[in-house]
Amino acid sequence: MTRDCPKPALDKSKRKFEEAWRAEKGEREFNAVYAAMVQSVDECVGRVLDELDALGLTDETLILFTSDNGGLKGPTDNTPLRSGKGYPYEGGIRVPLLARLPGVIPAGSMVESASNSIDLLPTIVDACGGALPRSPIDGVSLMGVLTGEVGLPERDLFWHFPHYRGGVKAPYSIVRSGDWKLIRYWGLGNELYHLGEDLGERDDRSGAEPEVVSELSRKLEDHLRELRAIRPRTPIPPSADTYMGRKIAQTMHWLGANWLIRATREDDEHTKLFLDALSVQEGQTICDLGCGNGYHSLELAKRVGEEGRVIAVDIQPEMLDLLEDRALELGVTNVDLVIGEFHDPRLERASCDLILMADVYHELSHPAEVLKLLKEALRPGGRVAALEFRAEDPDVPIKPVHKMTKAQVIAEFTANGFELVEEFDELPWQHLLFFGVKEG
């Protein structure tokens, strides 16, 4: 049940409490009103408990009392927690959960484990001896924890607030894994805190612990993709049908993904020779932008080794699902899956040694915007590799809109702050061009 009552009764009750609080605390009007509301809630809870006693139901009733947010900044003080309601810090999301079931839950006991509101349904069902629905649910029962019989299983907890709201600098998502807590401010970057050592979240350790940031970012990205979570959207610039005189091709639909792993692809394109030409080194981080179902991503993952990573980006989550299935089948674990936007591949700054676009660049609806962000994503000395079917050769059996001349590729990249640093011309159907960031 939620605490609610008709407004006239609420106003009358609130005025009574306000007068008492002002008499004790002075003329802090806003705090007095807030304190009056809290006291009113307390009294209403007491009335519910008294009624259960009167009906003889106390010993048969599980009481759970909690809140959906921390205390409001201003009238409340959440010290030692940082901030308050609506913010991603502990003062905004950490709240107590009070539980009572006489004879079952020991009175006065305290549990330090972190739970979530998603746990309430399975807890109530468990307490009543019922059966959970057959469809999967997110939470776990807390009854074993509350009775002291078992501990909570290790798990990661997630929060997602993809909205723009006054007072908060950006939409945010959170993942908590053990004592580590990562806050992703969408479009601005990450903050990392160790709650076991820094409950007040004063020491942002994202710069000192890049490996922890990467691990938690992967967990968050996988979780949001699995749930098809709505993501914050900045305004997408209008796109055009052409760019620098070239018609932009339509993106290949995921239903045609089997063509990417056709049996004849190696014979058609000499993909092993192409991958050798990339000169991949163990330990590198490589982005496969427009990865599809991972034809190149999975081979790149082998070449970078256990210490390296492949960031597989696609705007179609279904493509990433197909890639994930193939990776599981092959036992590949060093590929990170990222859902990109039309105008934003969503790569971290200075995160990539090599960014590959294999037969992808000609389909970008916002080439200038994407190239700008690719420059920012490259590490010093990093390169972008553009593989495109040769428009100069009419015998290449690809639709003209899906082919580009070498001159056109070079012109578009150089117009956006890149310079050609290497080219490879030994492939039967395609150009392979390498670009670095132009100095100055």
Q: Provide the CATH number for the domain around residue 371.
A: 3.40.50.150
Contact 433/410 with Cβ under 8 angstroms?
yes
Tokens of 149: 């019989």
Neighbours of 175 (CB within 10 A): 24
Question: Which of residues 167 and 252 earns the better pLDDT score?
Answer: 252
Q: Strands 172-177 and 180-185, how do they pair?
A: antiparallel
Placement of tokens 């909205």 in the chain = 163
Task: Confirm if 286 and 294 have CB atoms less than 8 A apart.
Answer: no
Q: What sign results for the dihedral spanned by CA atoms 359, 315, 261, 383?
A: positive
What is the model's pLDDT at position 19? 74
pLDDT in the model for residue 6: 39
Distances (CA, A) of 312 to 322, 324, 378, 432: 12, 10, 15, 19
What pLDDT was estimated at residue 237? 82
- What pLDDT shows up at residue 15? 72
Strands 172-177 and 156-161: antiparallel
Any residues with CB less than 8 A from the CB of 182 and at least 6 apart, and which?
Answer: 174, 175, 176, 190, 191, 192, 206, 212, 213, 216, 217, 220
Tell me what pLDDT residue 238 has: 86
Name the band, by pLDDT with cuts 50, 70 and 90, for residue 141.
very high
* pLDDT, mean of residues 158-170: 90
Residue 326 pLDDT exceeds 70: yes
Mean pLDDT estimate for the chain: 92
Percent of the chain with pLDDT over 90: 80
**Contacts of 27 by beta carbon, 8 Å cutoff, 6+ apart:** none
Structural domain includes residue 61: no
**Cβ(222)–Cβ(154) under 8 Å?**
no
CB atoms inside a 10 Å sphere around CB 424: 18
Distance CA 101, CA 124 (A): 11
User: For residue 365, is it within any domain?
Assistant: yes
Exposed, middle or buried by CB within 10 Å (0-12, 13-18, 19+), for 167? exposed
Instruction: Note whether residue 247 is domain-resident.
Output: yes
Measure the CA–CA gap between 352 and 308, rounded to whole angstroms.
Answer: 11
Number of domains in the chain: 1
Mean pLDDT for the stretch of residues 65-80: 89
Q: pLDDT at residue 290 above 60? A: yes
- Which of 58, 43, 80, 64 has its CA nearest to residue 116? 64
Q: How many CA within 13 A on the CB side of residue 257?
A: 18
Residue 214 has pLDDT above 50, yes or no: yes
CA angle 67, 69, 71 (to 5 degrees): 100
The verdict on residue 183 lying in a domain is: no
At 355, is the secondary structure helix, strand, or coil? strand
> Between the CA of residue 100 and those of 64, 109, 136, 263, what are the distances in Å?
7, 10, 27, 63
Write the single-letter amino acid at 372: K
Note the pLDDT tens digit of each residue in 375-395.
Answer: 999 999 999 999 999 999 999
> What are the structure tokens assigned to 221, written together?
């990205």
What CA–CA distances, in Å, run from 238 to 53, 54, 225, 314, 421? 65, 66, 26, 20, 31
Residue 136 lies in a domain: no
pLDDT-based confidence at residue 136 (cuts at 50, 70, 90): confident
The answer to whether residue 392 is domain-embedded is yes
C-alpha atoms less than 13 angstroms from C-alpha of 349 in its C-beta half-sphere = 6
Classify the phi-psi angles of 305: left when phi > 0, otherwise alpha if psi is within -120 to 50, otherwise beta: left
Residue 134 lies in a domain: no
Tell me how far apart the alpha carbons of residues 151 and 155 are, in angstroms, rounded to a whole number.
12
Residue 253 β-bridge partners: none
0.75 surpassed by pTM = yes
Give the 3-state secondary structure of residue 424: strand
Of 76-80, 189-193, 357-361, 374-378, give the lowest mean pLDDT range: 76-80
Mark out the alpha helices in 161-209 (DSSP H runs).
Answer: none
Distance CA 386, CA 351 (A): 18
228 found inside a domain:
no
Residue 339 domain boundaries: 242-437
Whether 16 shows a pLDDT value over 80: the answer reads no
Structure tokens at 201: 């979240």
Which structure tokens are listed for 186? 């969408």
List of long-range contacts for 9-12, beta carbons under 8 Å, 24+ apart:
10/40
What does the alpha-carbon distance between residue 125 and residue 121 come to, in Å, rounded to a whole number?
A: 6
pLDDT at 153: 87
Q: How far are the Cα atoms of 23, 134, 157, 261 from residue 223, in angstroms, in the given order?
A: 51, 21, 10, 27
Q: How many alpha carbons lie under 13 Å from residue 416 in its C-beta half-sphere?
A: 21
Instruction: Report the pLDDT averaged over residues 5-33.
Output: 61
